[in-house]
């Protein structure tokens, strides 16, 4: 049986928020070094799982990068990987504008069990709201945190209140010149 890992990767403030109190994430724009590191991590992913809102934000931006003559080579490389990856959107909305390689799913547990049995690379989980449900059910195998050296004070937390303790092991750390700290944990 194949067991593809589900990875939750997120930019997060030192006090644990992924968005500020107004829903902004502009404070978490990675510099060139961090972005190139993310590009390397992305090469082990071939499937992305999103909630509707995060998917729509990603779909509104990344495909346009491919035709933007001012976009950097790294941005175009990431956009190409994202556009060509399989994307699954969990939503109850009746209409979502889907791009190529994208489909809607509703039965989370069944879908995930099926995905993990398929041949392929790792599965990326995008968005704090959908990650909350996956965390509550214990479906996340790896956590990749890019901790930005700032305190937001409030906003959307990366980690919801957990019902159960989850023991993790540290896989990798890296500190960037900007003070951003990368922490990679996996289930024990």
Q: Does 163 or 125 have the greater pLDDT score?
A: 125
Whole-number pLDDT of residue 138: 86
Residues 162-166 have a mean pLDDT of 81
Band of residue 2 on the pLDDT scale cut at 50, 70, 90: low
- Is residue 173, in this structure, part of any structural domain at all? yes
Q: In the chain, how many H helices and how many E strands?
A: 5, 10
Does residue 1 register a pLDDT over 70?
no
Q: What is the CATH number of the domain that holds 133?
A: 3.40.430.10
- Is residue 132, in this structure, part of any structural domain at all? yes
Q: Does 164 or 31 have the greater pLDDT score?
A: 31
Residues 16-31 have a mean pLDDT of 94
When mean pLDDT is compared across 16-25, 144-153, 162-171, the lowest value belongs to 162-171
CA atoms of 102 and 85, how far apart (whole Å):
8
CA atoms of 167 and 149, how far apart (whole Å):
25
- Is residue 100, in this structure, part of any structural domain at all? yes
Residues 52-67 have a mean pLDDT of 92
Residues 75-81 have a mean pLDDT of 94
Average pLDDT, the chain: 92
pLDDT tens for each residue of 93-130: 877 888 889 999 888 888 888 898 899 999 999 888 88
- Is residue 164, in this structure, part of any structural domain at all? yes
Whole-number pLDDT of residue 160: 79
CA atoms of 67 and 83, how far apart (whole Å):
12
- Is residue 1, in this structure, part of any structural domain at all? no
Does residue 161 register a pLDDT over 80?
no
CA atoms of 139 and 55, how far apart (whole Å):
20
Domain that includes residue 40, residue range: 6-187
How many structural domains compose the chain? Answer: 1
CA atoms of 40 and 130, how far apart (whole Å):
24
Q: Does 107 or 180 have the greater pLDDT score?
A: 180
Does residue 67 register a pLDDT over 80?
yes
């Amino acid at each position: 049986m194949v067991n593809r890992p589900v990875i939750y990767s997120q930019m997060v403030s030192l006090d644990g928020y992924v968005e500020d109190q107004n829903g902004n994430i502009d404070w978490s724009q990675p510099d060139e070094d961090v972005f190139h590191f993310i590009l390397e991590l992305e090469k082990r992913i071939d499937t992305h799982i999103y909630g509707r809102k995060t998917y729509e934000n990603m779909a509104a931006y990344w495909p346009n990068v491919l035709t933007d003559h001012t976009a950097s080579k790294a941005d175009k490389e990431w956009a190409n990987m994202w556009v060509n990856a399989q994307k699954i959107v969990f939503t109850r909305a009746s209409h979502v504008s889907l791009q190529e390689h994208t489909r809607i799913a509703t039965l989370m547990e069944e879908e995930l069990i099926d995905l993990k049995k398929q041949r392929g690379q790792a599965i990326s989980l995008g968005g704090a709201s959908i990650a909350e449900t996956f965390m509550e059910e214990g479906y996340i195998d790896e956590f990749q945190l890019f901790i930005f050296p700032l305190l937001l004070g409030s906003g959307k937390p990366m980690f919801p209140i957990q019902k159960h303790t989850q023991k993790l092991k540290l896989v990798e750390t890296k500190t960037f010149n900007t003070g951003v700290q990368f922490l990679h944990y996996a289930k024990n």
